[in-house]
Amino acid sequence: MRRAAYDARNAQEDKDRLSELAVAACLQLPEYHAAQTALWYIDCRSELRTKFALPAALASGKRIVVPYCTVDEAGANKLGL
């Protein structure tokens, strides 16, 4: 199922325009406007593109939290913020 979703994302045409529309729709939600903190992710590979909107999110006055994957001292994967 994950492979099918990955292949579908890779085959999608006009990712930039579709990403802009999807991100714009999220940024118009009343919940986003009311939030003091927003969880953001940075796109990679074929994911919905979000990098273009990050500067405006950072300038919005909201606390923007971006999770990322890292490795701890023992070499185990962990989630950072």
- Contact between 41 and 67 (Cβ < 8 Å): yes
The DSSP element (H or E) to which 77 belongs, if any, is: strand 77-80
The phi and psi torsions of 63 (rounded to 5 degrees) equal -80, 120
| Tens-digit pLDDT profile for residues 24-62 | 999 999 999 999 999 998 888 888 999 999 999 999 999
The whole-number pLDDT of residue 40 equals: 92
In this model, does residue 80 exceed pLDDT 90?
no
The whole-number pLDDT of residue 36 equals: 97
In this model, does residue 81 exceed pLDDT 80?
no
Task: Say how far apart CA 19 and CA 53 lie, in whole Å.
Answer: 10
The phi and psi torsions of 3 (rounded to 5 degrees) equal -65, -40
Task: Say how far apart CA 77 and CA 43 lie, in whole Å.
Answer: 19
Higher pLDDT, 12 or 65: 65
